């Protein structure tokens, strides 16, 4: 089976600007950044999506969170603020089938999600019907 780009980076088969690596996680600069600081953090075990994590994967997730905190400090955004984001599946914005987290910062971040007015009306109806 052919490795995807994150597997290639993790295994050293593809060039990347790695900022941190240990036995549990690999972190590297995003090639198409959305903020001045945009680091991708992946578990060294391939997990397809957030839906696929198991109890046994908890060590990877805790190491990702600790790594994110340390990387934010390394890039001096720990005091000013940052976001750690993961997307799950196509409609959630996940483009690569490998669980990964985006550490973004270095600029004042806006709202988490900004929806057009028409979408907000649909969202309001959806939430009202599901309560």
Burial classification of residue 21, based on how many CB atoms lie within 10 Å of its CB (0-12 exposed, 13-18 middle, 19 or more buried): middle
CATH number at residue 29: 3.30.428.10
Q: What local confidence, expressed as pLDDT, does residue 123 receive? A: 62
Counting the structural domains of the chain, the total is 1
Please give the residue range of the domain that contains residue 44.
5-129
Does residue 97 register a pLDDT over 80? yes
Q: What local confidence, expressed as pLDDT, does residue 110 receive? A: 84
Q: What percent of the chain has pLDDT above 90?
A: 81
**Residue 71 pLDDT grade (very low, low, confident, very high; cuts 50, 70, 90):** very high
Does residue 32 register a pLDDT over 90? yes
Give per-residue burial for 60-97: e unless 16+ CB within 10 Å, then b.
bbebbeebbeebbeebebeeeebebebbeeeeeebeee
pTM of this prediction?
Answer: 0.86
Cβ pair 86, 47 in contact under 8 A: no
**Residue 130 pLDDT grade (very low, low, confident, very high; cuts 50, 70, 90):** low
The single residue of 29, 38, 100, 102 carrying the catalytic annotation is: 100
Does residue 1 register a pLDDT over 90? no
Neighbours of 10 (CB within 10 A): 23
29 is catalytic: no
Kindly state the tokens that stand for 65: 């969170």
């Amino acid at each position: 089976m052919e490795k995807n780009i994150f597997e290639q980076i993790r295994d050293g088969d593809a060039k990347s600007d790695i900022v941190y690596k240990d036995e549990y996680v690999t972190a590297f600069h995003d090639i198409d950044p959305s903020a001045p600081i945009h680091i991708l953090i992946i578990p060294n075990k391939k997990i397809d999506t957030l839906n696929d994590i198991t109890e046994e994967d908890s060590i990877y997730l805790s190491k990702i969170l600790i790594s994110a905190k340390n990387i934010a400090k390394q890039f001096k955004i720990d005091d000013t603020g940052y976001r750690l984001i993961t997307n799950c599946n196509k409609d959630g914005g996940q483009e690569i089938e490998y669980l990964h987290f985006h550490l973004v910062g270095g600029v004042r971040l806006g709202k988490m999600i900004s929806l057009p007015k028409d979408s907000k009306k649909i969202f309001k109806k959806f939430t009202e019907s599901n309560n």
